[in-house]
Amino acid sequence: VKSSRLTYEEKAALQSHPAAKKILEIAIKKKSNLIASLDVSTTQEVLQLAETIGDTIVAVKLHTDIIKDFSEEYVIKLKSIANKKNFLLFEDRKFGDIGNTQQMQFEGGLYKISDWADLITSHVIAGEDSLKIFDSKVGIITIAEMSSSATLTDENYKKRAIEISENISNVIGCVAQSKLPSSLLLFTPGVNLNSIKDKKGQNFNTPEKVFDKNHTDFIIVGRGIYKSTDPKKEALKYQKSGWEAYLKNISI
Ligand code: 5FU
């Protein structure tokens, strides 16, 4: 019996947005569904980690507003590593305001996210029109469901978030903790092989669990990699574990 989950090749055929096609292409080529969340506070740490683990990942996820020494030079260097190592740049900005404000936050300020990000996250809390301001080149990933304890993103919220996501042509998928329609790519944070939660509300699952239970497409790993004493070794472990979980998922 064929599993209800589609392969990355099948998903790529369903997707029309270039960022969606690209991340799936990289996944197939590298045999990786790993996104590293580099939540570190200096540009040097981001660049060093990106260089070290770049071969094992499909994207680097960033929170650019936690970096102390952001500069245009840093963006140039990071883009060059991304090109060389073939991964995407994913800014986890979680926009959550009216369209007019989000547009200024996306295009302006210090970070000029629209100049360099391949992927961004946005909440849908302000309704469908708020998502129409992002330029068509960027792949939007909406937040349909959060990983934290007692999150307000209940079943109804998730359902509405999915409806909005399906209506906006450059939304390529959602961050969520449960299954999505196969037209949307599923990005799952809260993944860790060694811990089940932190002391600030985060909940963790293993790569195997999020593939088995949710048919995820991409696992997002933060502290599991960047806090480890050997990030390269740990990234390889998550790459392998995520890929094996995917292979098992498609073979059932
Ligand atoms: F939308 C979400 C969510 O529901 N949970 C998350 O953890 C985003 N995240 C992000 O993924 C969070 O902001 C971190 O950047 C990352 C998880 O990092 P960790 O160190 O693996 O917990």
Contact in structure between 101 and 123 (CB atoms under 8 Å): no
- Residue range 84-134, pLDDT digits in tens: 999 999 999 999 999 999 999 999 999 999 999 999 999 999 999 999 999
Task: Quickly count: other Cβ atoms within 10 Å of residue 210's Cβ.
Answer: 26
For ligand 1, the distance from its centroid to the CA atom of residue 191, given in whole angstroms, is 9
Please indicate whether residue 38, judged by its CB atom, sits closer than 6 Å to ligand 1.
no
Which of these, 45, 65, 49, lies nearest to 57 by C-alpha position? 49
For ligand 1, the distance from its centroid to the CA atom of residue 98, given in whole angstroms, is 23
With cut-offs at 50, 70 and 90, classify the pLDDT of residue 209: very high
Q: How far apart are alpha carbons 130 and 165 in whole angstroms?
A: 12
Q: Cβ contacts of residue 208 below 8 Å, gap of 6+? A: 241, 244, 245, 248
Please indicate whether residue 222, judged by its CB atom, sits closer than 6 Å to ligand 1.
yes
Catalytic positions, please? 92, 94, 97
Which of these, 93, 94, 92, lies nearest to 37 by C-alpha position? 92
Q: What is the pTM of this model?
A: 0.98
- Residue range 47-76, pLDDT digits in tens: 999 999 999 999 999 999 999 999 999 999
Q: Cβ contacts of residue 71 below 8 Å, gap of 6+? A: 43
| The residue to which tokens 């990030």 are assigned | 231
Nearest CA to ligand 1 atom 16: 222
Helices (H), 67-172: 72-85, 99-107, 155-167
| Buried-state track 86-101, b at ≥16 Cβ within 10 A, e below 16 | ebbbbbbbbbbeebee
For ligand 1, the distance from its centroid to the CA atom of residue 144, given in whole angstroms, is 13
Mutate which of 34, 35, 38, 39 for ligand 1? The one with the most ligand atoms within 8 Å of its CB, which is 39
- Binding-site annotation, residues for substrate: 39, 61, 147, 202, 222-223
